[in-house]
């Protein structure tokens, strides 16, 4: 069984019951994380969370594709510099700069700072360059990271800091982390395909970080997916709270004592959504190879203490 990512499927999303389409915008989400029985497959979403208050996550980005007669939000992302958005490689590996529809609309766009998708808030930008981590492996989801350079800076936004290379100080098992997104709010089993309920308003959920050993114990022995702790970080697993389909590319954050956020992970994949005993899996931003990719992608990225 193939690994399930947390990106919204392109064609199937339009026929999904509960998909919210407002003012030409199809609001969907990313991939979730259930448990690990027999065959495993990754998925993405926010399940068991709450609406995110306006202004709390001004750096949150919605990645959208034109689908027929409106834009579909397929993934999330994080503004890490005025003109750069960090997301998952599997969200944008099929994107290309400068693509347009027959009607002249940009095929892909990025919205930063919009809490409610159907509103006109935030800044709309186009990708000017797409940098996928050159070591990303689509078969294993290792190094699942990409940086979008925007066609114009987004001003006035306080961005999160990122970990210094090798610093796992913010990754203590049991410590609370927060992930946000517009992904499905409906739990999904490891073999569920399609479906889901996608919110118009940004959602947030708190997840406890899970140690490498316990998380690897969930996935080891299952050929697909497998966990690679060097570049993957786990969170959640209580069966009630998780990311889900449509949340891919979004942030995993920890609150800093002095205010602000540390960005420690990118929503990557899961085995269903909110499946008991199965954490969600995130790209580990403290991993030296991931850090080096982000640091060399340009822009004024802030690396934390």
Catalytic residue annotation: 90, 144, 248
Q: Is the dihedral of CA 29, 31, 203, 168 positive or negative?
A: negative
Question: Two tokens at 129?
Answer: 């360059």
CA distances in angstroms from 48 to 43, 146, 185, 188, 237, listed in the order given: 15, 28, 7, 12, 12
Report how far residue 123's alpha carbon sits from residue 155's, in angstroms, rounded to the nearest whole number: 9
Question: Two tokens at 192?
Answer: 């569920």
CA distances in angstroms from 305 to 80, 91, 278, 301, listed in the order given: 16, 29, 31, 13
């Amino acid at each position: 069984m193939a690994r399930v990512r947390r990106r919204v499927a392109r064609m199937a999303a339009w026929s999904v019951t509960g998909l919210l389409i407002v003012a030409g915008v199809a609001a969907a989400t990313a991939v979730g994380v259930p448990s690990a029985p027999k065959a495993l497959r990754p998925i993405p979403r926010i399940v068991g969370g709450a609406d995110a208050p306006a202004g709390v996550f001004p750096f949150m980005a919605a990645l959208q594709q034109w689908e027929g007669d409106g834009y579909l939000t397929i993934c999330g992302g994080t503004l890490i510099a005025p003109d750069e958005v960090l997301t998952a490689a599997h969200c944008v590996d099929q994107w290309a700069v400068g693509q347009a529809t027959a009607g002249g609309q940009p095929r892909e766009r990025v919205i930063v700072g919009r809490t409610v998708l159907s509103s006109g808030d935030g800044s709309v930008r186009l990708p000017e360059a797409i940098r996928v981590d050159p070591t990303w492996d689509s078969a294993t989801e290792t190094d699942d990271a990409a940086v979008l350079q925007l066609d114009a800076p987004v001003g006035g936004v306080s961005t999160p800091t990122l970990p210094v290379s090798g610093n796992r100080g913010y990754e203590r098992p049991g410590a609370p982390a927060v992930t946000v997104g517009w992904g499905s709010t409906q739990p999904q089993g490891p073999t569920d395909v399609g479906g889901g309920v996608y919110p118009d308003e940004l959602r947030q959920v708190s997840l406890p970080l899970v140690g490498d050993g316990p998380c690897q114990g969930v996935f080891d022995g299952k050929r697909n997916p497998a966990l690679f702790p060097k570049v993957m970080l786990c969170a959640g697993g209580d069966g009630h709270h998780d990311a889900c389909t449509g949340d891919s590319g979004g942030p995993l954050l920890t609150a800093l004592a002095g205010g602000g956020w540390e960005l420690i992970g990118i929503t990557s994949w899961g085995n269903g959504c909110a499946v008991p005993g199965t954490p969600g899996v995130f790209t580990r931003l403290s991993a030296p190879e991931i850090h080096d990719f982000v640091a060399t992608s340009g822009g004024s990225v802030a690396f934390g203490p």
